A and B are shown apart, each in its own frame.
Chain A
Amino acid sequence: MNTSEDDVLLGDGLHRLGATATVPISAPTEDVRRGRRRVRRNRLVAAAGTVLAVGIIGVAGVALRPVVADRATDPADSPTATSTSSVRQAESVAQALPNSLNLAINLIFEREGVMAAVPDVVLRPLQATTDEAITTWSATAEQIDAGGNQELADRISRIQRSLDGMAQMRSDILDKADPQAGQMAYMAVVNDLLATSTLVPRVGDAEIDSEIEALGSMQPAFDSLLEERAVMTDALAKHEQPGAVQAEPLSKEGLVSLAAAEATWRRSLADFYTATSERQRKTLDEITYNTATDGAIGVPAHRAVNQILSTGSLDRVTMTPEEYTASWTELIRRLQELFVAAENEIIDDLAALDG
């Protein structure tokens, strides 16, 4: 018998030996329960470590010896420099983020609907959806632990005050003489809601802190998308008019605004892509057809923007306003899903830290 045959026989023998073991019936939920208990114990050990450092090594050291032995060779148990209070506060803020984003997106679509002069039969369901999102957000916001973070407390109060005045905002944006005040009021709330993510406390875990940092790109990303949409729909509508009566589709000011918005969009998207988790990067690659680090030019709406910026005109653009709007809306919706997934991932990760 040669060595190779020995190896094969030994491998086969080991697999057959393993198969003789009677595998106990165990529900995975039991493993989850034990895992949760371990997370709690890890946090107690971390807290005990502080006590140990000030000199109660004798008593506590004996009691914790088995735990310390576990951690000595465990790749799963690298110690972290987190504190329970910051983690819990971060959790309370993070748990409000998906509802904040949902409300912000509903406000965006309601505002866009009014600006596009959609009929009441379309506008009313949009408003009803926003009202539901407001109710949900208000309930979630009550659970936020602002701790000593005055900026966060002020932000939540400001949003709540704005939402309390929703009826006035709706009236203002429908004011045909001066709709801009209403439009700006909508955007102020949207920006406050989206920027809440920048106020999630950092917890001292490099990966989670990076994922939280990534969410800071949401507000400038959406802001730039809205700016681009305003310029593009106007330009594409003019571009569609018959040649003889066609107005200049895009003014110099419009081109400058579009370029500025695109620069912000590219920077925000790249920042998010760099800081977020691998899982969200993959999703963003799918959404942008692998052009996340190139301004998402794989998305038709963004390809059109870049065609205009590269030539300074709409000559190469074949997209209709309706096609642009459809692509833009699809992008917003998919970004919403992506950011909610990123927020939920952070919530899960914080829960794992907190136990």
Chain B
Amino acid sequence: MSRDEEFTAYVRERRAHLYRAAYLLCGDEHRAEDIVQLTLSKVYAAWRRVRKADSVDAYVRRVLVNSHLDEGRRPWRRERAGEVADRPAPTGLGAEDLDELWTALRALPAGQRRVVVLRHYWGLSVEETAADLGVAVGTVKSQTAAALTNLRHALRPDNAARGGRR
């Protein structure tokens, strides 16, 4: 298979998953698409190295996280903790719970949210998360603990009833 064929096959299979992860990281569908496009253009440019990596998914995930970091650094895109974007209303069972989780997740500082998504959406270990983010294991542990404390606090019935839901 040529490079374009390999890349196209990968994109066809994994783009939706990458988009959902980007959406959880940034909380906005348009920005999620920007991050995915940026990620995939970087991955295409480096496909020769990417396809030789031990895990293509791990490589692409690191590029995605870096793209989110870069995107957040741009002045016109900088996030503030607690800034809540619109999200299509979830449907089905647990819709209210999901809405509360969404609000709580969006209220987390970007660093804590990143750790939560890597650990609990992608299912990475503390060590893998630290490697992906280029930070110390201790930093991941402390950010995970802080994030979970914040989420528990936000999801307490009394707090959830008061805040967040639009």
Structural contact, B32 and A21, CB atoms closer than 8 A: yes
Interface contacts beyond A14-B24, A21-B32, A76-B43: sample of 6 additional A-B pairs, CB < 8 Å, sorted by A? A21-B19, A23-B16, A26-B33, A31-B15, A34-B41, A70-B42
Contacts of B49 in A (CB 8 A): 76, 207
Structural contact, A32 and B73, CB atoms closer than 8 A: no
Give bound CA distance, A338 to B4, whole Å. 20
**Which residues of B from 62 to 117 have beta carbons under 8 Å from A?**
62-63, 66-67, 69-70, 73-74, 87-88, 90, 94, 97-98, 101-102, 105, 116-117
Structural contact, A34 and B44, CB atoms closer than 8 A: yes
Interface of A is mostly: helix
The interface bits of chain B over 46-73 (1 if a CB of A lies within 8 angstroms of the residue's CB, else 0) are 1111101000000100110011011001
Interface CB pairs A-B, < 8 A, 14: A6-B152, A14-B101, A14-B117, A14-B121, A18-B23, A21-B23, A28-B15, A31-B41, A31-B44, A35-B43, A38-B42, A76-B45, A278-B52, A349-B48
Q: How far is the CB of B21 from chain A (nearest CB, A)?
A: 7
Interface size on A, residues (CB 8 A): 48
- Please list the residues of chain B having a beta carbon within 8 angstroms of any beta carbon in chain A: 2-4, 7-8, 11-12, 15-16, 19-21, 23-24, 29, 32-33, 37-38, 40-50, 52, 59, 62-63, 66-67, 69-70, 73-74, 87-88, 90, 94, 97-98, 101-102, 105, 116-117, 120-121, 123, 134, 148, 151-152
Structural contact, A74 and B70, CB atoms closer than 8 A: yes
Q: Known: A21-B20, A28-B15, A31-B11. Contact between A42 and B45, CB under 8 A?
A: yes
Structural contact, B44 and A14, CB atoms closer than 8 A: no
Contacts of A6 in B (CB 8 A): 148, 152
Structural contact, B46 and A34, CB atoms closer than 8 A: no
Q: Out of B33, B47, B62, name the residue touching A24 (CB < 8 Å).
A: B33
Q: Which of B29, B48, B121 has the most CB of A within 10 A?
A: B48
Contacts of B105 in A (CB 8 A): 14, 17
A158 lies within 8 A of chain B by Cβ:
no
Structural contact, B98 and A20, CB atoms closer than 8 A: yes
Structural contact, A348 and B2, CB atoms closer than 8 A: yes
Q: Out of B7, B67, B94, name the residue touching A16 (CB < 8 Å).
A: B94
The interface bits of chain A over 1-43 (1 if a CB of B lies within 8 angstroms of the residue's CB, else 0) are 0010011001101111111111110101101101111110010
Structural contact, B66 and A32, CB atoms closer than 8 A: no
Q: How far is the CB of A283 from chain B (nearest CB, A)?
A: 13
Structural contact, A16 and B88, CB atoms closer than 8 A: no
Closest to B40 in A: A31
Structural contact, B47 and A352, CB atoms closer than 8 A: yes
